[in-house]
Structure 1
Amino acid sequence: MILLLASLIVLIWMPPQEARAEYGDVVINNLAEEAGMPPVVFPHWFHRIRFRCKVCHADLGFKFKAGGTGINMLKIIDGYYCGACHNGEIAWSVENCTLCHSGKPGTPTQVHGSTLQKLVVPATQAKPQKQKK
C-alpha cells in the first residue's frame, strides 16, 4: 500500500516528459498523403498493453523508429506488417480505411503525444483550490 501511494505521489508531481512511443501515438505519413489519404495514426500504447515488443518488432518486422519501415498498402493487403492482424479475423480489415487513416493532413511522421501526459495534470499546471471562508 505504501509503495502504491509513493508511486502515485511521484506520478502526480513529475514534470511533463517528452513523448515516448510506448505511451504515445505514432503518426505515419511517409506515403499516405502522396496517395491522397490522410496520415495513419497508430495507437502504439493500445497495442503495447496487449502485446510484447517482440510480436511487432521482431516477428512482423517493424523498425524501432517511426517511419523506418517501408509499409505500404500492398504489403498490408498481402498480410505483412499491420495486415498480419488487420485481416478481418483478428482485427478489422483494410476496407475500413478511416480507422487508421485518421490523421490531420500535414502531420509529420513521428511519435505524437503521450497518453500518460493526457491523463495526469502536472502539479505545476494544477488549478489552485478555492479557500473556504
Structure 2
Amino acid sequence: MKPPRHSPSRWLSLLALALLSFWLGLAGPARAEYGDIVINNYSDAAGMRPVVFPHWFHRVRFRCKVCHADLGFQFKAGGNQINMLKIIDGQYCGACHNGEVAWSAENCNLCHAGKPGTPTQVHESTLQRFGVNVPSSPAAAASGATPAAPANKR
C-alpha cells in the first residue's frame, strides 16, 4: 500500500532518494531556484563549487530571527564572511550543520553544488529580472564591479 501523499514517511522517502542521488552524483550540479542564495565569496578561489543555499527550505522550518538575529547572518547575499573554519567552529551554518541537528560539514557536495563561476547573489531576484546590476558582495561594491547576468533566464 502506498503511503498517503502528505504522510511523513512519504516525505522522508523522497528526501532519502534526493540525498542518495546527490551522493551518487546522479543529480549533477544543483540548479538554484528563485530565492535561493548562491554563495561564492571564497569557493572559486578554493577550487570548490559555489554553495547553493536553499533559503526557502530553511524559511519554512525556522523564523527569520533564528538565522538573522540568533546566528548573526546579515540580510544581504555576500554580506557575511562565511568560511569553512567558522562553520566547523560552529558559527553560521555550523550552528546546525554539526552532524546532530543536520548533516555535518564533511558532506561537501550537499552544499557546494552550484555552477562554478556563479557570483554571490539571490538567484533570479526581482532586481536581476529587471536588469538592475546589484553588487554581489561588499568588496565588489567597493570596486564598482557588478555580477554577471544570470545564465538561465526563464
* Structure 1 length-normalised TM: 0.67
Q: Where in structure 2 are the equivalents of 1:95-110 lying within 5 Å? A: 95-110=106-121
Distance 2:44 2:103 in 1: 22
> In terms of Rg, which structure is larger?
1
Aligned letter for 1:30? Answer: N
Q: Secondary structure at the match of 1:75?
A: helix
Q: Secondary structure at the match of 1:83?
A: helix
**Percent of aligned positions with the same letter in both sequences?**
83
Post-superposition Cα deviations, 1:90-128, rounded to whole Å, max 9, x if no partner, equal: 0000000000000000111001147xxxxxxxxxxxxxx
Post-superposition Cα deviations, 1:57-108, rounded to whole Å, max 9, x if no partner, equal: 0000100000100100000000000000000000000000000000000111
Please give the root-mean-square deviation of Cα atoms over the aligned residues, in Å.
1.1
Distance 2:124 2:57 in 1: 13
Higher relative contact order (CA closer than 8 Å, sequence separation 6+): 1
Structure 2 residue 94 is matched with structure 1 residue 80: no
State which of 39, 57, 62 in structure 1 corresponds to 2:50: 39
Q: Which runs of 5+ in 2 are unaligned?
A: 1-33, 126-154
Aligned letter for 2:102? Answer: A
Distance 1:28 1:46 in 2: 16
Q: Where in structure 2 are the equivalents of 1:1-133 lying within 5 Å? A: 24-113=35-124
How far 1:24 sits from its partner (Å)?
1.3
Distance 2:85 2:106 in 1: 13
* Structure 2 length-normalised TM: 0.58
Distance 1:61 1:94 in 2: 19
Moved over 6 A (4+): none
**Map of 1:18 onto structure 2:** none
Q: Secondary structure at the match of 2:38?
A: strand
Distance 2:77 2:37 in 1: 7
